[in-house]
Amino acid sequence: MIHTRSLTKRYGPVLAVDSVDLDVRKGDIYGFLGANGSGKTTTVRMLLGLVLATSGGIELLGRPIPGAAREVLPQVGSLVEGPAAYGHLSGRANLSLFDAMGVGGRRRTRQQRIDEVLEQVGLTEVGRRPVKAYSLGMRQRLGLAAALLRSPRLLVLDEPTNGLDPQGIREIRELLLQLHATGTTVFLSSHLLAEVEQLCTRVGVLDRGRLVLQEELAVLQAPTGRTFVRTPDPDRAQALLDGRVESRDGRQLLVRGTDAAQINAQLVAAGVRVDELGPERRTLEQVVLEATEQAPVGSSRP
């Protein structure tokens, strides 16, 4: 769905994006991660033909960008750097104008599609209110509604939950999961690791303009070969498991080995109380920190 080859963007002496090879496959919910200034938004803008690459190649839906943009982009929904809208017009009027520009579909189904997308993003009750009265979160929802007017095969989103409260973030997450279930591939640029961890199937990590990690989330969070044990008797547990305990943090021990049932049986037989135990898995935060701290400038792991 998205493939780039040595995608590079320079602004004078500044190398903003450096030889990035993205591989976003059909059916992915792809989380594109990186700190502010890492080059995420510049990359997204190049994907959509909003800025030209200095060098390298881009394919969306199997077609070159920007060369085939007119054929491809009507099949791509996008929300980049916040939604654009006329403040004096209502949300519904903005969507109607956007549709009339030829990106949404047939005129005779326009109002029906507008009703549908307003309901999808939770703006049905305020669709006739002027956009200048919208909160930032409501504007984000309106931008997402505009992207959905196209019934896109690919949805490219840059920080779509910006300005939303926790309930709004959860609603957008559920909406994206619903769209994914109906066949939409999602490319999500975000700095919210917890949201990406709950939502995405694959991740790419950008650091100082270079792609330092790209992998299935399930692979990155596979069991590490160790078992964590939380117990109110950490001293007794450590003595009993002596030689297998790799680290201890308060009441939690990290034990070498993956047979949690055997470890539990050994502790219980010795009268050691166990609150919780299971295979250790790295969090997405740990994965990202490791990738960005260990990767030297000029390195890339596809």
User: Above 60 in pLDDT, residue 119?
Assistant: yes
CA-based max dimension of the chain: 75
Lookup: tokens for 256: 């070498």
Per-residue model confidence as pLDDT tens digits over 12-41 = 999 999 999 999 999 999 999 998 889 999
In a 10 Å sphere around its CB, with 0-12 CB exposed, 13-18 middle and 19+ buried, how is residue 116 labelled? middle
Bridge partners (DSSP) listed for residue 3: 23, 59
Residue-level pLDDT at 268: 94
- Write down the pLDDT at residue 184: 92
Question: Which of 189, 146, 172, 283 shows the shortest CA–CA distance to 228?
Answer: 283
Q: DSSP 3-state assignment of 231?
A: coil
Q: 3-state DSSP call for residue 103?
A: helix
Q: Whole-prediction pTM value?
A: 0.82
Question: Which pLDDT value is given to residue 243?
Answer: 87
Percent over 90 (pLDDT), the chain: 60
> Does 82 have pLDDT greater than 80?
no
Tokens at residue 298, please? Answer: 């000029």
Separation of alpha carbons 4 and 2, rounded Å: 7
Alpha-carbon distance of 206 to 209, in angstroms, equals 6
Amino acid of residue 248: R
Q: Is 237 helix (H, G, I), strand (E, B) or coil?
A: helix
Between helix 91-98 and helix 136-148 the angle, nearest 10°, is 30
| pLDDT higher than 80, residue 81 | no
Task: Give the tens place of pLDDT for each residue, 213-269.
Answer: 999 999 999 999 999 999 999 999 999 998 899 999 999 999 999 899 999 999 999
User: What's the whole-number mean pLDDT along residues 192-213?
Assistant: 93
Contact 4, 64 (CB under 8 A): no
Question: DSSP class of residue 201?
Answer: S
Q: What is the pLDDT of residue 299?
A: 41
pLDDT at 105: 55
Per-residue confidence at 194, pLDDT binned at 50, 70, 90?
confident
